[in-house]
Amino acid sequence: MTPTDLVDLHLHSSCSDGSDTPAELVRTAFDHGCRSIALTDHDTLSGLGQASEQARALNMQLISGVEISIPFQQRTMHLLVYLNDGAHEALEEHLRVLQTGRRERNRAIAKAMADDGIPITYEQVVVQAGSEEGLGRPHFAATLVNLGVADTIDDAFDRFLATGRPYDLARKSLTLDEALELVRASHAISVVAHPMTLGYTTTTLGSIATELRERGVDGLEVYYSRYRPEIRLELEAIAHAAGLLATGGSDYHGTYKIGLKPGVGEGDLRVPLRCFTDLSDELSRR
């Protein structure tokens, strides 16, 4: 792989909780050597038009995607859904429901913080995000930093917003089986994002991976930016043993996740080109 054919199948734009517009994101990925990418914003497909236009201008390959959060065994699973163009009306309808739930949750977070004496308003967070549509926890974190309540975005998450922290509030979500039914109806592909964040050991994840495949999950994000090389190798073996596609990406969010760059993550990420071709080939068969 040369420095100009990098692959990144997990990228976020300002349409959800990234700092770059979709066009800026594609251009940034191109400048960092990526030629095959996927846009996977949370709960929305709204950035795909702009991203596709920029990708065509740069002669890049772009897969349409979205990331959704679902409850799984008292944990939260993030599911990357990769799409064939023009075949996802049912999914879009449910994404609108999820977006409504996200807005309700965000307003509840702002109110809870204000009730606890934190000098924050919902309107301030909307300004930080640029709109209500893509507003998420990173925008709360950045606002807390701007207000001097937290030192850094990581500090804001660690103290206030991460799983189990005081303002980690629940929102409407699909069950795994509901999500997978929508994936099937959309002729799409589902991949478990950053699977180690489920909190299992790789041994336990190995047994769960077979169950997930039987329920309809198609892949596992093996090559993830913040996993050590040996973890990536273990995840690759798990995916192969369970008959799951292996994918990978940086989970780039721009300034909301410091230290990550498209294609290379923290510097050592190299997603094999076969991950893109395998995913594209499987999508063409759906």
CA contacts within 13 A on the Cβ side of 114: 12
Long-range interactions of 197-203: CB distance < 8 A, separation 24+ = 197/78, 198/72, 198/73, 198/75, 198/77, 199/75, 202/231, 202/234, 202/235, 202/238
**What is the dihedral angle through the alpha carbons of 217, 223, 227, 232, rounded to the nearest 10 degrees?**
90
Q: Which CATH class is domain 6-95+172-284?
A: alpha beta
CATH 1.10.150.650: which residues of the chain? Answer: 100-161
- Res 131: pLDDT: 83
According to the model, what pLDDT value does residue 271 have?
97
Q: Sign of dihedral through CA atoms 30, 32, 36, 41?
A: negative
The whole-angstrom separation of Cα 114 and Cα 30 is 41
How far apart are the C-alpha atoms of 221 and 39, rounded to whole Å? Answer: 15
Residue 3 is predicted with a pLDDT of: 56
pLDDT value at residue 4: 66
User: Which residue ranges does the chain devote to CATH 3.20.20.140?
Assistant: 6-95+172-284
- Strands of 245-249's sheet in order across: 6-11, 34-42, 61-72, 75-83, 189-192, 219-224, 245-249
The whole-number pLDDT of residue 85 equals: 77
CA distance 282 to 274: 12
CATH architecture of the domain with residue range 100-161 = Orthogonal Bundle (1.10)
CB of 42 closer than 8 Å to CB of 12 = yes
Per-residue pLDDT of the chain (286 residues; tens, 9 = 90+): 445 689 999 999 999 999 999 999 999 999 999 999 999 999 999 999 999 999 999 999 999 999 999 999 988 899 999 998 766 777 888 888 888 888 899 999 999 999 999 999 999 999 998 888 878 899 999 999 999 999 999 999 999 998 889 998 887 788 999 999 999 989 999 999 999 999 999 999 999 999 999 999 999 999 999 999 999 999 999 999 999 999 999 999 999 998 999 999 999 999 999 999 999 999 999 8
How many of the other CB atoms lie within 10 Å of CB of 71? Answer: 13
Looking at residue 1, its pLDDT comes to 47
